[in-house]
Chains A and B, each alone.
Chain A
Amino acid sequence: MTIAKACVVGAGVMGSGIAAQIANAGVPVLLLDIVPKGAADRSAIAKGAIDKLLKADPAPLMSRAAAKLITPGNIEDDLEQLADVDWIVEAIIERVDLKQDLYRKLDAKRKKGSIVSSNTSTILLAQLIAGLPDSLAADFCITHFFNPPRYMRLLEVVGGAKTRADAVKEISAFGDVMLGKAIVHAKDTPGFVANRIGVYWMQAAVTAALDLGLTVEEADAIMGRPIGAPKTGIFGLLDLVGLDLMPHVDQSMAASLPANDLYVKLRRDWPLLNKMIADGYTGRKGKGGFYRLNTEGGKRVKESIDLKTGTYAPSTTARLESADAAKGGLKVLVSHKDKGGQYAWSVLSRLLTYAASLVPQIADNVVEVDQAMKTGFNFKRGPFEMIDQMGAAWFADRLRAEKMPVPALLDSAAKAGGFYKVDGGRLNYFGTDGAYHPVERGEGVLLLSDIKLTVKPILKNGSASLWDIGDGVACLEFHSKMNALDQDSLGLLKQALDHVGKKMKALVIHNEAENFSVGANVGLALFAANVALWPMIEDLISQGQAVMKAMKYAPFPVVAAPSGMALGGGCETVLHAGAVQAHAETYIGLVEVGVGVVPGWGGCKEMLVRNQPGPRDPKGPMPPVAQAFETISLAKVAKSAAEAKELKFLRATDNISMNRDRLLADAKARALKMLADGYQPPKPPELRLPGSAGKTGLNLAVHGFALQGKALPHDVVVSDALAEVLSGGKTDHTEMVNEDHVTKLERAAFMKLVKTEGTLARMEHMLTTGKPLRN
């Protein structure tokens, strides 16, 4: 059975977010909630939820088209529509009686064999199905999403004793391929995997901070990046999720875990937290939390609470040697003598011990637990990877030295040499049976990091490498800092094109960094400009244009497979690939005007080509120019791959992968398909551009924006140069021009702008602050 239609019951934040992600996958979904008392519109709650989805930031929906796939309704009038629904997700209030009432109603109307799942985070599956018919229990499982469902990768799937094995399998496959989630198979135990360990971490982090007398700034300076957790640390994270959530989570955990559980032993009442909640300090959604913005007296002052007295004072930057030392690794951090080091050890020793004591109780193996913490709590490393980083034996020895318990699994892993081992080019994990087993990736998953364990790069320099990913396909990987593109990146791309042309069949451009590429290396350009090395800059532009052109017209398939940000030069790389297989979470845009220049590697040209009118669009030379001008001059960045299609950074024929782990395999398959279909490079297009009349028209519009204060003085300068390029310079609309005509104009405009003070100021500002200068 494939899931062709879904239904979510409960249109709260989670329910509507889950519905949005199902819609993002292109699957129609019914969103139901109760009928509000006395409401004129009986589906008002679900409708209101959809309105909120459209306004929320970050956006739960990837496109406006996705919103249309969500049909609002209510559980009294619309249950008949369940007749053709393949998967029903329940996301209502956490009360067994209400959930069971609903399940009975759903069961009466649902399609035979459809899957019913609960998004519960606190109730066990066994409780949810107690007393319900076996036929329902067979189709029932738990699908536990994390908030926000679009952006948090984790999906915990729990099957019960009576659940059909294929139901769990189907939902897992749908969650993985269609919803793009990292699936963790959790056992039916309280808090499942991520919350069981994550909530323990939060408790341990708070408790240790109180015991060791750290300030909130000090605690967060350690509990964030230094240990590989999100940069908010612990108190910043509590502010973010909402302080009032914590007592509920705590009570639910404490009530459902046995008295001898380490969590129950660790947890304690925390009067300050209760007082803060009572006073309305519920976090960022309220008046503030452990941090607040004091706006009294007209100034915005960031303040932090004193954990002992409960009074606020202006925040200070924590100065802890251990936080800096953490760059040397976790072992250095937890060995540091200052209170930051002691704090890190206090928390991690408990946390990692707890995690090691819970396998196989909460999940079959350590891989699942690591995956859960990485994708559910955004940890850089999972607990067992953290132990391995310190050295499992070292960690176990220190626990023993401090008279702390050493769980059996940790003890045996320490003796065996750690939780993970690379053997025969494959990553293996330490199983509960005391033996190592290969980490299974699942069909259709290909990771560059796995390939790197087996082979050496074909080509490599400081900024990029070329890998053989099998079947005659090569993968070009950028790996400079933030994947900013420089001469080495371009050089390797050129070499890769030569190599693949001679010895292989197709090229995929992909990497596993957070961002595909943030653009060309601005620092390099600024440096060259400061010493007036103009030929060097012009050479970088020419080189880039030549390589992009060579890629576009390569006689073999080139497939770009971006994920994360693909900006500026990164965007231009994507624009010149023969096909694109984009991760759904790709943020693509030509943002060059932010540093005072125009796209110089064929980005302007490509946007003109892509905006050529279709049969239904207005004719004439201006519409494509005006469209490209708007997209580039406003530095528009698509907030999803779907939106990138609307903005024409992606073609209608380009494909989207929901799951990042499947991106490389999908891109490779696309390249092989293009080969099988008899790949021919595109024919160079000819463009009809308006010439100086078009430029005058665009400048008139910019003049209006300048008057309105929407375009600043240097915006006018940059826009003028952009208008010159896009209108085609000294052409006339009775003539056709080729692509080289436009790239030549790009180069001239870039060189003109890079010599202006306004542009140099923008570059410098970007490099020092990371933000665009408005000048």
Chain B
Amino acid sequence: MSKAVIAGYVRSPFHFAGKGALTKVRPDDLSATVIKGLLEKTGVKPEDIEDLVLGCAFPEGEQGLNVARLIAMIAGLPQSVAGATLNRFCGSSMQAIHMAAGAIAMGSGQAFICAGIESMSRVPMMGFNPMPNPALADKIKGAYMSMGETAENVAKRYQISRKEQEEFAVRSHRLATAARQAGKFTDEIIPIAAGKENVVSDGCIREETSMEALAGLKPAFDEKGSVTAGTSSPLTDGASACLVTSEDYAKANGLKVLARIKSSAVVGCAPEIMGIGPVAATERALKRAGLTIKDIDIIELNEAFSSQAIACMRDLKIDVERTNLDGGAIALGHPLGATGARITGKAAALLKRESKQFALATQCIGGGQGIATILEAA
């Protein structure tokens, strides 16, 4: 049985929803451009691709129908390439990678595009017609709880001070700024045409941010709370894509392999503290890989909020120095459905760049879940 490998990773520039450079770009067009970029960059034969698996957290409006199939058409993929849209909220496109790895393990395909998309400008969070189940809303308060409120709950439960959250946010911006200045994103970013403009660079990173600037912000979700817009990931437009193939296929076709997928896991947790989802998911994935956290050299821990990222690092005893080397979602942005493929692809790329052995990509998921992937050097 051949192992699944990540043989390519790209993304669009990430921009603020509603006011950023990608506001007017349809998500299907955005994703198609990124996928075309992936094909070009990896040189994979399009006709060999089994399926386009696309994660999206609010698959309606321009992200509606089976948008994966439509994106395949826009991107000009051969008709034989299938398409499936899947939703595990923020974990959607990491789940796409897990699905591909599972299919490869079963011998159900050689090459997969695992992509993610979210235009938070054009499809609102909660969707156009939020219609929660009244009985469930009454019974389980966390079921429909806003993400900000869960971040406050985590901050309270783990007693994470506002200052600590802000230090983490400043770190994220600092690392992202340094990475951009060093040209470390040029490899992964596919330029996007937005009207007359060619968008080549990220729009959410605040190079000038400081502890003083963050200290001046009002709490964003709870007037008595500690979580601010500065310690939350912004609403973002963006797309990402990874090429996942069997190791044999990659070798036979001369693809540049970034990492091998070693194990994966998903797990549910209390919805009102959904931010700690990565803890159980990571423990489970580590166990399946026969590793401990000390073995992990590179960590991509999604920064939905400073508070939950810090809580997860504390519980998992994660070394911050190994985490989010080029910054995280607080600085880069968090286009929900696109983040999973970004951090998994990024972890794979970092493993290669830093010549390390093991990497972890993990994230929390609204509604109370965690998802994790362990990678190893190929």
Contacts and interface: CB of A to CB of B under 8 A. Distances in A.
A620 interface: yes
A304 to B, nearest CB: 36
Nearest to B136: A696
A422 to B, nearest CB: 60
Interface string A616-640: 0011111100000000000000000
Interface in B214-257: 219-225
B137 A620 contact: no
Interface in B50-107: 61
A622 B131 contact: yes
Interface string B122-156: 00001011111110010000001010110010000
Given A618-B61, A708-B223, A700 B128 contact: no
A382 interface: no
Given A622-B130, A709-B223, 12 more contacts: A618-B129, A620-B128, A622-B131, A696-B131, A697-B126, A700-B130, A700-B146, A704-B148, A704-B149, A707-B222, A707-B225, A708-B223
Interface string A693-713: 111110010001001110000
Interface of B: 61, 126, 128-134, 137, 144, 146, 148-149, 152, 219-225
Given A618-B61, A709-B223, A694 B128 contact: no
Nearest to A700: B144
Interface of A is mostly: helix
Given A707-B221, A708-B223, A692 B130 contact: no
B134 A690 contact: no
B129 to A, nearest CB: 4
- A: contact size bracket: 10 to 19
A618 B128 contact: yes
A30 to B, nearest CB: 25
**Minimum-distance CB pairs A-B, first 8:** A709-B223, A620-B129, A693-B131, A618-B128, A622-B129, A697-B130, A696-B134, A707-B222
B132 A700 contact: yes
B147 to A, nearest CB: 10
Contacts of B220: 708
B129 A695 contact: no
Contact of A696 (B132, B152, B219, B222): B132
Given A621-B129, A623-B128, A707-B223, A696 B137 contact: yes
A760 to B, nearest CB: 26
29 contacts: A618-B61, A620-B128, A620-B129, A621-B129, A621-B131, A622-B128, A622-B130, A622-B131, A623-B129, A692-B134, A693-B131, A693-B132, A693-B134, A694-B131, A695-B134, A696-B132, A696-B134, A696-B144, A697-B132, A700-B130, A700-B146, A704-B148, A704-B149, A707-B152, A707-B222, A707-B223, A708-B222, A708-B223, A733-B131
Determine which residue in B130, B152, B221, B222 has the highest number of CB atoms from chain A within 10 A of its CB, and name it: B130
Nearest to A618: B128
Contacts of B129: 618, 620-623, 690
A720 to B, nearest CB: 13
Nearest to A693: B131
B325 to A, nearest CB: 34
B222 to A, nearest CB: 5
Interface in A604-661: 618-623
A422 B85 CA distance: 80
Contacts of B134: 692-693, 695-696
Interface string A674-706: 000000000000000010111111001000100
Interface of B is mostly: loop
A371 to B, nearest CB: 47
A170 B295 CA distance: 85
A624 to B, nearest CB: 10
Given A618-B61, A696-B133, A696-B137, A707 B128 contact: no
Contacts of A709: 223-224
A5 B148 CA distance: 50
Contacts of A622: 128-131
A695 B131 CA distance: 8
A693 B149 contact: no
A623 B127 CA distance: 10
Nearest to A620: B129
Interface string A527-564: 00000000000000000000000000000000000000
B5 to A, nearest CB: 41
Contacts of A697: 126, 130-132
Determine which residue in A622, A623, A697, A709 has the highest number of CB atoms from chain B within 10 A of its CB, and name it: A697
Nearest to B149: A707
Contacts of B146: 700, 704
A769 to B, nearest CB: 25
A538 to B, nearest CB: 28
A623 B146 CA distance: 19
Contacts of B224: 709
A692 B132 CA distance: 9
Interface in A208-267: none
Nearest to A625: B129
Contacts of A700: 130, 132, 137, 144, 146
A18 B39 CA distance: 57
Contacts of B133: 693, 696
A693 B130 CA distance: 8
A341 B179 CA distance: 78
A608 to B, nearest CB: 15
Contacts of B152: 707
B120 to A, nearest CB: 15
Contacts of A618: 61, 128-129
Interface string A293-328: 000000000000000000000000000000000000
A619 B131 CA distance: 13
Contacts of B61: 618
A194 B174 CA distance: 62
A704 B221 contact: yes
A696 B61 CA distance: 22
Nearest to B220: A708
Interface string A159-179: 000000000000000000000
Interface in A572-596: none
A650 B127 CA distance: 28
Contacts of A693: 131-134
A692 B126 CA distance: 17
Contacts of A708: 219-223
Nearest to A699: B137
A245 to B, nearest CB: 37
B50 to A, nearest CB: 34
A690 B222 contact: no
A61 B293 CA distance: 61
B122 to A, nearest CB: 10
Contacts of A695: 134
A60 B106 CA distance: 68
Nearest to A613: B128
A700 B134 CA distance: 10
Interface string A459-496: 00000000000000000000000000000000000000
